[in-house]
């Protein structure tokens, strides 16, 4: 079936710019990339295309998987993991930096500390910008794409599943994107469990309410574990809060074997990493834990698919 490529030549800033059909196209291309890597390691479809990775904040997975994705498809890279040795240190603005790099490359992958900054930068940039994580309160759309692909691959569907997302949801951009992207799918139940000091962002709550997805907020979640299909655990984002708040909430929720044994045999335990201590290491070998397996590995395939769709029309 022919599917229109709405990613071609466009910025990837928010999950809210994508329909269910767009996500299906991305998943279908991701399956092709998985097969390509497994069988041949990659190909040359992005030969003579260039990607700049401009990371104003630390990253291991997003940075490295985008670099690997571009190179596995034959493209070139300008990899800047940290901007301290660039003219940003002299005071150059994000808008000017984006404009400069757009002269050298075909796509810019940017992680930045300020929510909303990439949409502004995109106005000054002649090449597509991909949001690689934006601010304490913004989005991380490519992580949500990875999470949705992983769930669909394992369950064969996303519709009808019960998601329990726990932890610091005030500062967690991957789950901001995931929650909003879930509104594309029918009969989702979404339960959010947070310490009361770090509830979801108001804009996300408003979006969920308008979309009429079934969601609820609580601080207790143990009793729900036997019902959930996907348990998504988040890190307390120390870098975005005061030391005193961190001390108050760190360790509020620790997922260990005594908790996960209450979950269904067919369910998933997800975390987009890095993990500190919110999932006990004893859970890592549970067959339902996908954070060091499918969820991590799919990051490469989804980002290959996304670069291909953004840079190639067909
Ligand atoms: N999941 C994720 O965004 O990890 P990094 O911060 O290491 O890129």
Mutational pocket test of ligand 1: of 171, 237, 274, the residue with most ligand atoms within 8 Å of the beta carbon: 274
Q: How many Å apart are CA 10 and CA 8, to the nearest integer?
A: 6
CATH 3.40.50.1370 positions along the chain are 15-139+296-311, 141-291
Give the pLDDT of residue 1. 61
Task: Find, among 129, 149, 130, the residue nearest to 33 by Cα.
Answer: 149
Which residues' Cβ are closer than 6 Å to ligand 1? 59-63, 133, 143, 272-273
CATH class, domain 141-291, is alpha beta
Q: Tell me whether strands 214-218 and 230-233 are parallel, antiparallel or unpaired.
A: unpaired
pLDDT of residue 85 exceeding 70, the answer is: yes
- Residue 57 CB-density burial (10 A; 0-12 exposed, 13-18 middle, 19+ buried): middle
Tell me how far apart the alpha carbons of residues 186 and 208 are, in angstroms, rounded to a whole number.
Answer: 13
Measuring from atom 1 of ligand 1, which residue has the nearest CA? 272
Per-residue pLDDT for 283 more than 90? yes
Tens of pLDDT, residues 184-223: 999 999 999 999 999 999 999 999 999 989 999 999 999 9
Nearest atom of ligand 1 to the alpha carbon of 273: 1
Q: Per-residue pLDDT for 148 more than 90? A: yes
How far is 270 from 289, CA to CA, in rounded Å?
A: 6
pLDDT band at 314 (very low <50, low <70, confident <90, very high): confident
Looking at ligand 1, which residue's alpha carbon is closest to its atom 3? Answer: 62
266 burial type by CB count under 10 A (0-12 exposed, 13-18 middle, 19+ buried): exposed
The alpha carbon of 50 and the centre of ligand 1 are apart by a number of angstroms equal to: 22
Cα of 110 from ligand 1 centre, angstroms: 13
Average pLDDT over residues 254-270: 97
User: Mean pLDDT throughout 223-245?
Assistant: 94
Q: 96 C-alpha vs ligand 1 centroid, how far in Å?
A: 25
- Segment 149-166, tens digit of pLDDT: 999 999 999 999 999 999
Q: What percent of the chain has pLDDT over 70?
A: 99
Q: How far is the CA of 63 from the centre of ligand 1 (A)?
A: 8
Across the range 30-48, mean pLDDT stands at 98
Q: What is the pLDDT of residue 232?
A: 98
Residue whose CA is at the smallest distance from ligand 1 atom 4: 61
- With the most atoms of ligand 1 within 8 angstroms of its CB, the residue from 54, 60, 67, 294 to mutate is 60
The whole-chain average pLDDT of the chain stands at 96
| pLDDT beyond 80 at 2 | no
Q: Which CATH number fits domain 15-139+296-311: 3.30.930.10, 3.40.50.1370, 1.20.1730.10, 3.40.50.150?
A: 3.40.50.1370
């Amino acid at each position: 079936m022919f599917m229109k490529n709405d990613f071609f030549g466009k910025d990837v800033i928010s999950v809210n710019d994508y329909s269910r059909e767009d996500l299906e196209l991305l998943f279908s291309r991701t399956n092709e990339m998985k097969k390509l890597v497994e069988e041949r390691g990659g190909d040359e479809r992005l030969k003579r295309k260039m990607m700049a990775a401009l990371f104003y904040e630390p990253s291991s997975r997003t940075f490295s998987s985008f670099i690997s994705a571009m190179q596995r498809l034959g493209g070139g890279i300008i990899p800047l993991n940290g901007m301290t040795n660039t003219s940003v240190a002299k005071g150059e603005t994000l808008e000017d930096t984006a404009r400069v790099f757009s002269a050298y490359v075909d796509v810019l992958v940017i992680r930045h500390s300020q929510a909303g900054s990439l949409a502004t930068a995109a106005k000054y940039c002649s090449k597509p910008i991909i949001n690689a994580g934006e601010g304490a309160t913004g989005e991380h759309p490519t992580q949500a794409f990875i999470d949705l692909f992983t769930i669909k691959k394992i369950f064969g569907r996303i519709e009808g599943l019960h998601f329990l997302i726990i932890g610091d949801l005030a500062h967690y951009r991957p789950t901001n994107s995931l929650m909003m992207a879930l509104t594309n799918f029918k009969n989702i139940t979404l339960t959010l469990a947070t310490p009361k000091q770090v509830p979801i962002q108001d804009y996300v709550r408003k979006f969920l309410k308008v979309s009429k997805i079934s969601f609820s907020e609580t601080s207790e979640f143990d009793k729900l574990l036997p019902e959930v299909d996907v348990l998504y655990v988040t890190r307390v984002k120390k870098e975005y809060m005061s030391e005193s708040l961190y001390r108050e909430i760190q360790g509020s929720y620790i997922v260990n074997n005594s908790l996960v044994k209450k979950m269904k045999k067919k369910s998933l335990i997800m975390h987009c990493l890095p993990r500190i201590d919110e999932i006990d290491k004893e859970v890592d070998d549970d067959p339902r834990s996908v954070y060091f397996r499918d969820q991590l590995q799919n990051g490469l395939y989804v980002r290959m698919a996304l670069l291909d769709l953004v840079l190639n029309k067909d």
